[in-house]
């Protein structure tokens, strides 16, 4: 395709993104239309002219409703779930020096099962059957946290007969009530903040609460309280591995409260899934590298005593309950010929140890 004109509507670019299995579509000012396929960002067409401020203004107006347009003018940015006939997207529009920049995350409307994603069912299903406690799904942006969280909620929805409440920003996957009654609330559209929604949630008599993002002290505090008082709470954090996740949760609190919070976390934590998506060697997409921490007496002791640095060692001895470190997960993918040596080393936590592994 050459000599491209700028298309009339955002939906036309989004359709291309869907057709070519992209995770994201970018329409930025002074840059050609781009997409992210299998983790790599690249222009959709090599010879497309740069989008002008007039182009992006027209494209932004093509899909923003009056409420979103007004918020963009007032605040300078807007994030919301956008839906058209073909699917749903997490849309973000920001005003910058040159004009508008638009980014869309393509949401797969079909929720994938835990087996399809490649989660170790024997060890994760028991976590979802607790009546209370905290399950954390962590990883960097674009590591598939939302997909994993949706598959966990969908499993609970079929497996149990309970009340599930999700608090999201924005709502991504839409859950139909199956065995459970499911309510979904969107931060900004239905409530001001995660903390406010979570406080309200506790009055709704839920059994399972999914918190899209635990980013501040108040939200983390409320999630811990909910986990302690008989709710199963599933949440996400942007942290790389289990020890860092626990440090992040504890570091949010003032120093004088930390000892008490460590006890709370050591008692209410059920498990932490940390994940990253690694490009496959054959170029056919990405595969899941997964670290799993399960709260055993040894793990609980490390958390309570503030010795999170000891967790990797504890995880290596906890294989019988499914525990696995990120490095071990990467090594297994490499041994099976799924990912390259370079990717394995690049993503390893302990690069020195990984180099020794390649030498042996």
The CATH number of the domain holding residue 69 is 3.30.450.90
Do residues 222 and 195 touch, judged by C-beta distance below 8 A?
A: yes
Distance of CA 265 to CAs 55, 117, 228, 252, 354, Å? 50, 28, 9, 13, 31
Assess if residue 222 is contained within a domain: yes
C-beta neighbour count of 138 within 10 angstroms: 25
Q: Would you state the structure tokens that stand for residue 209, as one six-digit string?
A: 């609460």
Residues 208 and 305 both lie in one domain: yes
Q: How confident is the model at residue 38, as a pLDDT? A: 87
CA nearest neighbour of 170 among 109, 81, 84: 81
CA nearest neighbour of 318 among 344, 302, 299, 336: 299
In the numeric block, the tokens 């050591």 are attached to 266
Residues 136 and 18 both lie in one domain: no
Count of domains observed in the chain = 2
Provide the phi-psi class of 189: left if phi over 0, else alpha when psi is between -120 and 50, else beta. Answer: alpha
Assess if residue 271 is contained within a domain: yes
Residues 355 and 331 both lie in one domain: yes
Distance of CA 164 to CAs 189, 209, 220, 270, Å? 19, 6, 19, 18
CA nearest neighbour of 162 among 190, 181, 188, 137: 181
Residues 202 and 279 both lie in one domain: yes
Assess if residue 3 is contained within a domain: no
Residue 73: enclosing H or E segment and its boundaries?
Answer: helix 66-75
Question: What is the rounded CA–CA span in Å between residue 26 and residue 117?
Answer: 26
Q: Is beta strand 163-168 parallel, antiparallel or unpaired with respect to 208-211?
A: parallel
Residues 84 and 228 both lie in one domain: no
Assess if residue 125 is contained within a domain: yes
pTM: 0.87
DSSP per position, 82-103: EEETTEEEEEEEEEETTEEEEE
Residue range 59-96, pLDDT digits in tens: 999 999 999 999 999 999 999 989 999 899 999 999 99
Assess if residue 310 is contained within a domain: yes
Which residue pairs from 308-311 have beta carbons closer than 8 angstroms and sit at least 24 positions apart in sequence?
Answer: 308/243, 308/246, 308/247, 309/243, 311/242, 311/243, 311/246
- Domain end residue (candidates: 79, 107, 135): 107
Residues 83 and 231 both lie in one domain: no
Say whether the peptide bond before residue 170 is cis (omega within 30 degrees of 0).
yes
Residues 245 and 305 both lie in one domain: yes
Q: Give me the domain span that covers residue 95.
A: 10-107
Residues 199 and 119 both lie in one domain: yes
Assess if residue 5 is contained within a domain: no
Assess if residue 340 is contained within a domain: yes
- Domain end residue (candidates: 49, 81, 107): 107
Residues 68 and 130 both lie in one domain: no
Distance of CA 77 to CAs 9, 70, 101, 186, 283, Å? 20, 10, 9, 17, 35
Q: How confident is the model at residue 331, as a pLDDT? A: 97
CATH number of the CATH domain containing 220: 3.40.50.300
Residues 174 and 320 both lie in one domain: yes
Exposed e or buried b per residue across 31-68, where buried means at least 16 C-beta atoms within 10 angstroms of its C-beta: ebbbbbeeeeeeebeeebeebeeebbebbbeebbeeeb
Q: What residues are paired with 68 via a beta bridge?
A: none
Residues 295 and 228 both lie in one domain: yes
| Per-residue pLDDT tens listing for the chain (360 residues) | 445 788 989 999 999 999 999 999 999 999 999 999 988 999 999 989 999 999 999 999 999 999 999 999 999 999 998 999 989 999 999 999 999 999 999 998 789 999 999 999 999 999 999 999 999 999 998 899 999 999 999 999 999 999 999 999 888 899 999 999 999 998 888 888 888 988 988 889 999 999 988 989 999 999 999 999 999 999 999 998 999 999 999 999 999 999 999 999 999 999 999 999 999 999 888 999 999 999 999 999 999 999 999 999 999 999 999 999 999 999 999 999 999 999 999 999 999 999 999 998
Residue range 120-159, pLDDT digits in tens: 999 999 999 999 999 999 999 889 999 999 999 999 999 9
- Domain end residue (candidates: 73, 107, 141): 107
Assess if residue 4 is contained within a domain: no
Residues 163 and 233 both lie in one domain: yes
Which of helix, strand or coil describes residue 185? strand
């Amino acid at each position: 395709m050459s000599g491209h004109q700028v298309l009339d509507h955002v939906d036309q670019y989004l359709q291309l993104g869907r057709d070519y299995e992209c995770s994201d579509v970018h329409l930025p000012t002074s840059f050609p239309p781009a997409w992210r396929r299998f983790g790599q960002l690249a222009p959709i067409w090599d010879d497309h002219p740069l989008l002008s401020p007039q182009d992006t203004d027209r494209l932004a107006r093509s899909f923003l409703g009056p409420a979103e347009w007004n918020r963009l003018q007032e605040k300078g940015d807007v994030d919301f779930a956008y839906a058209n006939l073909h699917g749903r997207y997490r849309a973000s529009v920001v005003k910058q020096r040159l004009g508008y920049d638009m980014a869309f995350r393509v949401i797969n409307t079909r929720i994938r099962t835990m087996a399809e994603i490649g989660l170790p069912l024997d060890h994760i299903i028991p976590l979802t059957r607790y009546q209370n406690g905290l399950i954390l799904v962590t990883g960097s942006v674009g590591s598939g946290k939302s997909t994993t969280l949706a598959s966990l909620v969908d499993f609970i929805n079929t497996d149990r007969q309970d009340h599930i409440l999700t608090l999201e920003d924005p709502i991504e996957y839409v859950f139909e009530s199956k065995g459970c009654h499911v309510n979904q609330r969107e931060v900004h559209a239905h409530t001001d903040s995660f903390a406010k929604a979570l406080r309200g949630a506790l009055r709704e008599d839920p059994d399972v609460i999914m918190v899209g993002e635990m980013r501040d002290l108040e939200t983390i505090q409320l999630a811990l309280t909910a986990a302690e008082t008989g709710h199963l709470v599933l949440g996400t954090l942007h942290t790389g591995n289990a020890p860092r996740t626990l440090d992040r949760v504890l570091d949010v609190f003032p120093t004088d409260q930390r000892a008490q919070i460590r006890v709370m976390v050591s008692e209410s934590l059920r498990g932490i899934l940390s994940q990253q998506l690694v490009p496959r060697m054959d170029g056919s997409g990405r595969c899941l590298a997964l670290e799993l921490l399960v709260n055993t007496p040894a793990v609980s002791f490390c958390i309570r005593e503030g010795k999170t640095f000891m967790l990797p060692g504890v995880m290596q001895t906890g294989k019988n309950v499914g525990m696995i470190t990120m490095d071990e997960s990467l090594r297994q993918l490499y041994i099976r010929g799924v990912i390259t040596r370079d990717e394995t080393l690049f993503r390893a936590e302990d690069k020195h140890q990984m180099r020794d592994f390649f030498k042996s």
